[in-house]
Every structure is written in structure tokens, then in C-alpha cells.
Structure 1
Amino acid sequence: MAAGQGQERGAAPRKGTVEKRQALLRGARTVFGREGYARAGIDEIAAEAGVSTRTLYNHFGGKENLFREALLDSAAAVTSAHVALLERHLAKVTDIGDDLRALAREWMGRRGEHGDHILLVRQIIAEGAHLPGDVIQEWQATGPRAVHEAVRAAFEALGEQGVLAVDGTNSTEAARYFTLLIAGSVTVDTFFGVVPMGDEEVDARVESGVRTFLKLYAVNPD
């Protein structure tokens, strides 16, 4: 694809190195999310970013490393957003049921803010066997496992405060169940956002998930 076409498609970044790198990461997320790893082309990604292919190679060396960096950068941003949610809702608990519901509603309400990342994850599921080396393990460590650890640590801290019946023996289990009860069914039933789900249905699943979680881990479940 000609360089002129790339400038029309992508917003031309400023000349700074940092800005070009960020433009390439954004362009990579868009193209990899749309086309998948195998079908995405270097020329197409450079055009989406509004830079030359030479610039892409200078920054990332090639397609494999660009995919890795785009995925891990995106996963880190999503993890940071989830950690902020946990701190906002669970750092100071006044009513565990209300606070968990508020956390869960915001968690699900903000899922559309990470659309590019969700598309990348969908491609990982579809193309896992064809992805480079250990990229899936790196993504899991930076994204899902890091979020799980943040939830686990928050629940264990609430257990130490006497708010939840959680301690070091069951905090991993509690974090896993909460994530599955709140986000799991919506994620699976919408196939990572492909199939729409109305707000009322999402709210109903949040309410059901929190209620079930509290039956398992509330200090006084009744």
C-alpha cells in the first residue's frame, strides 16, 4: 500500500519518537483485532498508524514483536483500570453487599472502554495455535492473572478486616468465583462482545452473581 494512502487512513502522528510508537501500537491493535495475527500485514498496520513501514521496523523489528508489544501494552492498561476499580470500591467498605454491587456494575459498565483489547483477546482464542512463542503466557501474566491477583489480595484484606469469610486458604478460589460470577457469563454469552446484551440483563447477572458470592463468602450469609 502506498505511503500516501497510509497518511489518509491514519491520523498522522507528530514527529516525536514516543508519538510514533504510540501511533503504531494503536494501529496494530486495530488491524490485529480486525484481521487476526496471520492475516494482518505490516503495510496495513503502518498505513493505519500513518507512518512508513521503515518506521515500524525501526521501532519494533517486525510483526511478531509488534503484536507482542501491542497486546502487552493493552493488557497492562486494562489491568491498571481493574486495579483502580478495586481500590475505588473496596479500599474502604461500608456495606460489603452494596460495595460489591457497585464494583461489579462499574466493572461490567466499563467493558466497552477496552474494545480494541477485547478484539485482540478474541483473536487469541481463534488463533492461539498460530501465535508466536510464549506470547499467550506473557499476556496471561500481564492481564488475566494480574487482575486475578489484585482481586484475591483485595478479598484477603477484607477477610483480615472481618468483612468476608476469606483467608489465605480460600482467597484464590474466592477471586476466581467472583470473576466468573460477575464477568464470566456475560463474556461467554456475548462471545466477547459480538452478541449484544441489554443493560437490564447485565444488571440482573450482576445482582445474581453478587448474591451467590455473598452466600459463599459473607461472614453472615443469612
Structure 2
Amino acid sequence: MSQQSVLLNRAGRPKDQAKRKAVLEAAKCLFLRKGYEGSSMDAIAAEAGVSKLTIYNHFSDKATLFSEAITAKCDEQLPERLFEFCPKASVESVLLMIGRNYYELISSQEAVELQRIVVAMANQEPRLARMFYEAGAQHMVREMSKLLIQATHADRLRVENPGKAAERFFCLLKGDDYFRVLIGICPPLVGEEAEQHVREVVGLFMNLYRCS
């Protein structure tokens, strides 16, 4: 096998990647419109314009497809490059960028609806709930922890427990209003209010972990 063939196999053929993306988009649309139980693999295949076999070539089952759809949504809004530590950039500016993108992600109607779906079926589908957590919240905490470790090693922050600090950061960004958003009694913050909220959270975080 030629080196070019090896590289193509590793990257995946463009046509296959296009089909995979189409399946993920179709899955997100149907899960939001009909819920998890109401979205069959046949319906997702029809929505994506592919065969059901094509779906199973990329995803082992519907739960895995759901988890991958969550991961794709998070990667769109919070790609791993946002968590890269740059010695030349201020830590505060990096946290502000992460904070803005995270708050925009959790405030989107798509994310709110997905959260409601998982909470509603958590007792019946604990595996699905765990996959949702691992693909979303846990993944972001892990990436944030790596950033905090690097910032601490560079004497830019003083964080003794990066995992807990990362959890606190995202919990502060959600704030007390997030539960009310989930149950539909208030809208998420937007515009200047959202920006002010993110800046206050980053300010509190920096005051807590800044090197003295």
C-alpha cells in the first residue's frame, strides 16, 4: 500500500466524512424534534439521505450516535484549540473567550432542548445520560483542567486542584438562572447582559486563583 493510500485511509475519504456529518446533523434535528425514543435509525437515515447501513458503518447504535452528536455540537462551539495555553496571551483573555463560547453554547435552544431530553429519560436510559455527560460536560472540564495545569506551571495561576477549579468555572458561568432557563420560566442572558455575566465570572475566578 502506498504512503498516499495510508494517509487517505487514516483521514477518511471526503465522501464518507460528508455522509457522517449529514447523519450527525440529521440526528440532532430529529432528536430535538421528536425526542430520543421517537427518532428511529430509519428516520435518521431518511433525513440524512443515506442508507441505514451507512449509519451503522459510522455509529454502532443510536446511543452512540446521540453521544457523537453532542460531541460534534460541543466541538463546533468549544473546539480544543480554545483551551490551548499560549504563554504570550493573558490568561484572562483566554478565559473570557472560553466563557463567551461556553455560555453561548449552553444558552442555545438546541442545547437546552437536548438537556431536557436527557433529564426526562435519565431514569430509563442511565447509559444515555452518562454518555451525554461524558461527551459534553466531562470533556470540557478535562480540557479546561489541562489549561489550568499549564497556566499553573507557567506561574500565571495558582490552582491546586485543576479538576475542581474547572468545574467551578463552568458552574459559575451557568449561574442560578440556568435551572430557570431549563424549566422554561426565563430566557438566557443575551448581548451586554451575557457579556457582563461572563466578565464577572472570569473576574471572580482570576481573583481566586491569580498568583499573588
TM-score range, shorter chain: 0.7 to 0.9
SS in 2 for 1:143: helix
CA distance in 1, matches of 2:45, 2:153: 51
SS in 1 for 2:61: helix
> In 2 relative to 1, CA 121–60 (structure 1 residues): closer, same or farther, beyond 3 Å?
farther
How far residue 56 of structure 1 moved from its aligned partner, in angstroms, is 1.6
SS in 2 for 1:206: helix
- The answer on 1:75 being equivalent to 2:78 is no
Q: How big is the alpha-carbon RMSD for the aligned residues of Structure 1 and Structure 2?
A: 3.3
> In 2 relative to 1, CA 201–209 (structure 1 residues): closer, same or farther, beyond 3 Å?
same
Contact 1:76 1:143 in 2 (8 A): no
State the partner residue of 1:200: 192
**TM-score, normalized by length of structure 2?**
0.73
> In 2 relative to 1, CA 94–25 (structure 1 residues): closer, same or farther, beyond 3 Å?
closer
Select 2:148's aligned residue among 149, 155, 158: 155
State the partner residue of 1:166: 159
SS in 2 for 1:130: coil
Contact 1:26 1:70 in 2 (8 A): no
How far residue 177 of structure 1 moved from its aligned partner, in angstroms, is 0.9
How far residue 163 of structure 1 moved from its aligned partner, in angstroms, is 1.0
State the partner residue of 2:10: none
CA distance in 1, matches of 2:181, 2:29: 20
CA distance in 1, matches of 2:18, 2:94: 39
Contact 1:155 1:164 in 2 (8 A): yes
Contact 1:82 1:107 in 2 (8 A): no
Percent of aligned positions that are identical: 22
Contact 2:181 2:187 in 1 (8 A): yes
SS in 1 for 2:170: helix
> In 2 relative to 1, CA 192–166 (structure 1 residues): closer, same or farther, beyond 3 Å?
farther
State the partner residue of 2:5: none
SS in 2 for 1:219: coil
Superposition pairs of residues 209-220 of structure 1, within 5 angstroms: 209-220=201-212
How far residue 105 of structure 1 moved from its aligned partner, in angstroms, is 2.6
CA distance in 1, matches of 2:35, 2:205: 36
Q: Tell me which amino acid in the other structure corresponds to 2:194.
A: V
> In 2 relative to 1, CA 160–125 (structure 1 residues): closer, same or farther, beyond 3 Å?
same
How far residue 49 of structure 1 moved from its aligned partner, in angstroms, is 2.0
Superposition pairs of residues 37-186 of structure 1, within 5 angstroms: 37-51=36-50, 55-56=51-52, 59-60=55-56, 65-76=61-72, 78-79=74-75, 81-87=78-84, 90-109=85-104, 111=105, 116=110, 119-131=113-125, 134-167=127-160, 170-185=161-176
CA distance in 2, matches of 1:58, 1:158: 43
> In 2 relative to 1, CA 17–99 (structure 1 residues): closer, same or farther, beyond 3 Å?
closer
Structure 2, unmatched stretches of 5+, are: 1-14
